[in-house]
Amino acid sequence: MKSGYKYVKETFEKHETGYQTPHWYRGIEYRKGRSIQRVEKPTKIHRARSLGYKAKQGYVVVRARIRKGGMHKVRPKRGRKPRAMGVNKYTTGKNLQWIAEERVQRKYPNMQVLNSYNVYADGRNHYYEVLLVDPNHPVIKSDPKINWITEPQHTKRVTRGLTSAGKRARGLHKKGWGSEKTRPSIRANKGRGK
């Protein structure tokens, strides 16, 4: 027997894409909005709940827009070998979801990023909804399921790559054979054996 959230998930995955669907109208609304926009409630409630969101005080949802693609460089006007142009194939070393989370963290410095998920993408941008938690809110402090985020070691956790998107970019979602040099970090393993 399926739960109610399973049906909601199926709605988003199967029945929402296409011309003049709610998904289509949502994209028009997102393009008109700001790059970092607070929203009243999650668009994908099933995804937000699975990542730890609760409809209670102390939780905030923010939609972040981020441009697709790598780090676009201005092409030098003259005097370079093609290989020394420094234009193509330059990336941040992070995924765009992690960068979107960091931008939201800078906008809301008193909150902690819990997690995020994608809600929309068009030809130019990705749109993510970022879940924030207020570690100083009394409701959060008294909730045993989330009050771990009030401890000092979780301060600015997104900037240290401790969210799911950050761990994915750091290669920590893979374990075992082939990932020996990702822990404790790639930099810490630099120069260790071959």
Give the pLDDT confidence of 103-114 residue by residue, as tens digits: 999 999 999 999
Region 70-74: what's the mean pLDDT?
84
> Which residue do the tokens 């194939």 mark?
89
What percent of the chain stands above pLDDT 70? 98
pLDDT at 194: 60
pLDDT at 70: 85
CB 184 within 8 A of CB 172: no
Domain spanning 34-169, CATH architecture: 3-Layer(aba) Sandwich (3.40)
